[in-house]
Amino acid sequence: MAIREILKMGDPRLLRVAKKVTDVGTPEIEALIADMFDTMHAANGAGLAAPQIGVDLQLVIFGFKQNTRYPDAPQIPETVLINPTITPLADEADEAWEGCLSVPGLRGLVPRWSKVRYEGIDQFGQAISREVDAFHARVVQHECDHLQGVLYPMRMTDLSTLGYVEVLFPDLDAGDDE
């Protein structure tokens, strides 16, 4: 297990459409998942997508009990989601603040479906199908966007809300993790 380098916006590898995982359960995929959790935990991230560490596969992880970068967020079960699909279950999008480990130091208001169903398989090849809302729905949409080569600023409708964390949220103890 190892902490891997997180690619930053501007790296063309973040703009690829990722390939499907065809070999769930192999030592290579298990090692990738372990590295992704190490990397996400070291960065205090709420989620991480394989393309963020340069791996061109449809695999995301997310979840936390308590997150210093999003102190008001409700907990989300730690999840490995492979080859995901997302179905909107809301008519409208909500706007809320988002950051990204590949866009360090910044936050912006991003519209997302307030409720979605996500489906895929987990690290054991078992089917996942969940209906979620609020921050959980937001995190899943953000992470799965990485698999389509989409970073959250590309989803923003008002770039005037894009700003630095220490200016927007001077009380947030984000430390040096962004």
- Write out the E strands in the chain: 47-49, 59-64, 76-88, 93-98, 106-113, 115-121, 127-133, 163-164
Cβ 148 to Ni ion, closest distance in Å? 12
Q: How far is the CB of 101 from Ni ion (least distance, A)?
A: 6
Rounded to whole angstroms, how far apart are CA atoms 51 and 101?
12
Catalytic residue among 98, 131, 143, 178: 143
Residue 14 engages Ni ion in binding (rule: CB under 5 A): no
Between residue 84 and residue 113, which ones bind Ni ion under the rule CB under 5 A?
100
How far apart are CB 144 and Ni ion at their closest, in Å? 10
Rounded to whole angstroms, how far apart are CA atoms 130 and 73?
Answer: 19
CB-CB contact of 58 with 13 (8 Å): no
Q: Minimal CB distance to Ni ion: which residue?
A: 100
Binding marks (x or -) toward Ni ion, 41..80, rule CB under 5 A?
Answer: ----------------------------------------
| CB 65 within 8 Å of CB 29 | no
Binding site for Ni ion (CB under 5 A): 100
Q: Which residues are catalytic?
A: 143
